[in-house]
Amino acid sequence: MPGRAGGQAEPCGTANYDGGDWAWEFLRRNRDYIADWRGSVPRHLPWITLIDGTKLLRLPRRFPRAEKWGLHAFADPALCAGEAPVFWHANALKRVVRVSARKPHNGEHGSVRRLSDFKASRRAIIGVDGVPVVLIKGRGVQIPLEIRGLPVLTAPFTPVFELHDLTDLTAQTELLRRLQSFSEAACGASERLPSMSDERLQHALIALDESLKGHTYRQIAITIFGEKKVAEEWQGASQFLKDRTRRLVAKGTELMKGGYRELLG
């Protein structure tokens, strides 16, 4: 699949990928996205690293062509999820934790927070509306925070978590639980083990890559399952391995062409 110079996307290690990472891996293989990125001006926007380690990107204007793909701004499709500064637009994310940042008062030290309290990778973007969206990323989890009322991202604040609809209570509670897992009290937590979902997505990504190279279903199956398994089962009466390979190619193609949005948490 085309990369920066019309070559193929480099293989990436996918350990501890979250939904946003997987979504990017499928999107960056989309030829229409690559064409839009090549036609974008500028192709690269400078981001800075704040004193607390948060990576911050300020947008001078909106980028509607990038928003069409669910992004605030274009990211280089030649770069893996761990390398590319990918900033998903809040409108493309299924769930967002919305926080009102209040100036701390005397005597409420226990409830005062800083972004640096969350021991994870932090990417922040401030769009033309001036409202920061911070992605807290780690151990296969991505939690988007929309923070209003915080003029300086490194400043302490007292968070007031907003709930806009009682039907969203369960989902928001789960997001807050995950957010708490990144607090200082849980910073020593072990890394998440790969799940069955990760394995299926990885197989779909490999199947997509091999399909885009023009390989046959049998060649794709060998790449994923190994030559021995394919030799033993390819001609079997059940056709299970052939059907599974076809489904993986179809799933990878679907995710590349827009289904990646379903992976965004």
Residues linked to residue 57 through DSSP beta bridges, in sequence order: 125
* Sequence-distant (≥ 6) Cβ neighbours of residue 6 within 8 angstroms: none
Query: How far is the C-alpha of 13 from the C-alpha of 28, rounded, in Å?
Result: 15
Q: Can you count the helices (H) and strands (E) in the chain?
A: 8, 7
85 pLDDT band (50/70/90 cuts)? confident
Query: How far is the C-alpha of 69 from the C-alpha of 28, rounded, in Å?
Result: 10
Question: Does residue 32 have a pLDDT over 90?
Answer: yes
Q: Output the average pLDDT for the chain.
A: 86
Tens of pLDDT, residues 154-192: 999 999 888 877 777 777 888 888 888 887 554 444 454
Query: How far is the C-alpha of 116 from the C-alpha of 53, rounded, in Å?
Result: 8
Enter the tokens of residue 40.
């974008």
Tens of pLDDT, residues 94-141: 788 899 999 888 766 668 889 999 888 899 999 998 999 999 988 788
Classify strands 97-102 and 158-161 as parallel, antiparallel or unpaired: antiparallel
Instruction: Read off the pLDDT of each residue in 189-214 and give the average, rounded to a whole number.
Output: 80
Classify strands 55-58 and 121-126 as parallel, antiparallel or unpaired: parallel
